[in-house]
Amino acid sequence: MTEKNIDRPNQLVDHGEEAHSFDGIQEYDNKLPNWWLWTFYLACLFSVGYWIHYHVLQTGLSSMEAYQLEMKEAKKAAEKREAKNPLTDALLLKLSKDPKIVAEGKTLFLKNGCVGCHKADAGGMIGPNLTDEYWLHGGKPTQIYHTIFNGVPLKGMPAQGKLLGRSRIQKLVAYLESIRNTHVKGGKAPQGKKEEG
């Protein structure tokens, strides 16, 4: 086929049988390179395998199933860690004697919304006074830990476990232990049972 060369319009070029032109754009029916073709064929093959594995036979895990499996394994690992290093009152009390941990706990208390309900001095507002001897959900360090971890959703105390995790909540308990029975001025009236400690 003979047509005009667009770069040099005055010159006619012969492209042979395979050349053709659409709207003045000249094309050749070049053979595709083998690497390209093979990549393409393999991608097609892969997609068929993928489709059968995940959608027809469903032998592969869906993203949700894979996620749930991973979460289950992480939970098991966390339980194992916990079993090896159980949370005890003694451990939490020991942490409350460490000024660095207590300071970190105080920062956590100030920065994680606790002050909105318990006030910055922990004297209580919507939530109870945390500086007296009275506890609604138990005053043992592990009980305080569990109250913070699980919250008391029906009474307006949000669960913090998923948000803050084990180690931060231990620091919060260490801080609360360090200020318990300090009776801040203007604190809320006692609620719950009296517990020394």
Residue numbers at the binding site for ligand HEC (CB under 6 A): 109, 112-114, 116-118, 126-128, 130, 135-137, 144, 147-148, 152, 155-158, 160, 172, 176, 192
Q: What CA–CA distance (Å, rounded) separates 125 from 192?
A: 15
C-beta separation of 117 from 126 below 8 A: yes
For the bound state, the minimum distance from the C-beta of residue 156 to ligand HEC, rounded and expressed in Å, comes to 4
Q: Given the complex with ligand HEC, which of 99 and 156 has the nearer CB atom? A: 156
| Smallest separation, CB 55 to ligand HEC (Å) | 44
| Closest distance to ligand HEC from the beta carbon of 65 (Å) | 33
Between 3 and 195, CB nearer to ligand HEC? 195
* Residue placing its CB nearer to ligand HEC in the complex, 60 or 165: 165
Q: What angle do CA 181, 98, 100 make, to 5 degrees?
A: 110
Q: Which is nearer to ligand HEC, 137 or 166 (CB)?
A: 137
**Inter-residue contact 194 to 186 (CB < 8 Å):** no
The 10 Å Cβ neighbour count of residue 84 is 7
Residue 74 Cβ vs ligand HEC, minimum distance, rounded to whole Å: 23
Give the residue carrying structure tokens 């909105």. 116
Closest approach, Cβ 146 to ligand HEC, in A, equals 9
How many angstroms separate the CA atoms of 40 and 46, rounded?
A: 10
Q: Give 16 or 186: the residue with its C-beta nearer to ligand HEC.
A: 186
- Strand ranges inside the chain, DSSP E: 2-4, 12-14, 20-22, 25-27, 134-135, 193-194
